[in-house]
Amino acid sequence: MKQSEGLFYKMKKYKERVHLLLSLIKNYYVDCKLFYKHSNIFKQDTFGKIEALIILRYHSLEKGFLHDSIRYEFGKNVVIELAKLLKREDVIANCNRSQITAAYMVMCNYYTAHSEKNVDISSYYPKSDFDFFSNMLALNFLSVNDQQATSYFDNSDKDFYHFSKSRCSMRDFTGEMVSFETIEKVIEIAKTAPSVCNRQPVKVYFVEDKKIIDSVFAIQKGLKGYSDNVSQLFVVVSNRNYFYKVGERSQLFIDGGIFVMNLLYALHYYKIGACPAHWGFNTDTDQQIKKLLNMKEAEKVICLVPIGIPQNKFKTTLSLRRSNDEILKRIT
C-alpha cells in the first residue's frame, strides 16, 4: 500500500469515527428531549401521565396491605394525593379503565380496613370520599390475594396458560437457602431467553453474602419490611461490549428485560419464590452497587431479583392488569 493510500484509509476511518460519535450524541440528545417531554418527571400534562401517577400511588398502598399486621394510617400523604387525583374530571370520565378501577378499589379497601378496626382516618380520608369512590365501583373491594405456600406452586408444572397466570411477585421469604444445584438448573432455563443476534449480553451475579444483600437493599429501598429474610439475590446485568450501533443503545435493556422474565418463569417452575426489584437509579448510585459486587464498568444493572422459599401464608398484590382494548391496537 502506498503511503498516500494509508493516509487516505486513516482519514476515512477517522471521519467515520467522528460521524459515529456525533450520531451517538445526537441520538442521546433526541432521547433526552423525548424523555423530557413525554416522561412524568417535569410535566403532568396528559391523561397517560395522570394515570401513571395514580398507578404509582395505588400500588404503594396495595403493598401496604401485604404485611401480616397492617400498620394503620399507613401512607397518609399517598391517600390524600390519590384521592385528589381520583376526583379529577378526566379521571372520572375514564373510570372504566382497568387501572382507574384498581385505584378506586384500593382506596375503598383502605377505608374499610380502617373502619372495621374503628381506626379514625376522617382527618385525611372523609367518609364522603369513600362513598364517592365506592359509587364508582361494582362493589368488589379486594386488593390483595391471600396465598399459601402449599398451593402457590400448584400450577407451576401445568400448561403455559395456567403456569404464567399463577406466577406473581412474592416477598415473604423464610430465609432458608435454595441449593446451588437448583440455582444452576434455574439458570439453564433462564438462558434460553432470546437476545439480539444471540449475543447474550446478560450475566447474573448471584449474591449469598447477607451483608452485601442488606447493603444493596439499603440503597434500593423498594423491599422495605421484606428484605430481612432475603438470603439470596440475583443481580442481572447487561454488558455494553456486545452492542455495535448507535441505534442499539437501548438494546441492553431489552435483552436484559427478556432475560429477567425468563428467569422469573424458571424460578416459578422450580417452585422458588421471587420478586423483581427495580434498579432505576442515576449513575452515582450505579457506582455504589458496582463497587459492592466488583462489577465491570461495561456492565449495566438491569434488575434485582431476590428469591427464596415462601412463608406458609403470605399476601400478594392484586396488580390488576389492563384490559386488552387498552393495550391491543389492531391495524388492518
Which residues bind to ligand FMN, rule: CB under 6 A? 63, 168-169, 171, 222-223, 275-278, 303, 316-317, 319
Rounded least distance, CB 267 to ligand FMN, Å: 12
Q: How far is the CB of 318 from ligand FMN (least distance, A)?
A: 9
In this complex, which beta carbon is closest to ligand FMN, that of residue 75 or of residue 222?
Answer: 222
CA 255/CA 236 separation, integer angstroms:
11
Q: Give min distance, CB of 304 to ligand FMN, in A.
A: 8
Distance CA 171, CA 307 (A): 8
| Cβ proximity to ligand FMN, 39 vs 135, nearer residue | 39
Query: CA 43, CA 64: separation in Å to the nearest integer?
Result: 28
Cell numbers for 271, please give them.
417452585
When the beta carbons of 129 and 255 are compared against ligand FMN, the nearer one is: 255
CA 236 from centroid of its chain's CA atoms: 13
Cβ at position 329, least distance to ligand FMN in Å: 22
Least distance from C-beta 208 to ligand FMN, angstroms?
A: 20
Query: Going by C-beta distance under 8 Å and a sequence separation of 6 or more, which residues neighbour residue 29?
Result: none
d(CA 257, CA 202): 10
Half-sphere exposure of 228 (CA within 13 A, CB side): 1
Residue nearest to ligand FMN (CB): 222
Q: Which is nearer to ligand FMN, 220 or 239 (CB)?
A: 220
Cβ atoms of residues 299 and 239 within 8 Å: yes
CB of 6 to ligand FMN, least distance (A): 50
DSSP H helices in the chain: 3-38, 47-64, 76-86, 89-93, 98-116, 127-135, 149-152, 160-166, 180-190, 210-220, 251-269, 283-293, 324-327
Residue nearer to ligand FMN on the CB measure, 267 or 303: 303
Q: Which is nearer to ligand FMN, 63 or 114 (CB)?
A: 63
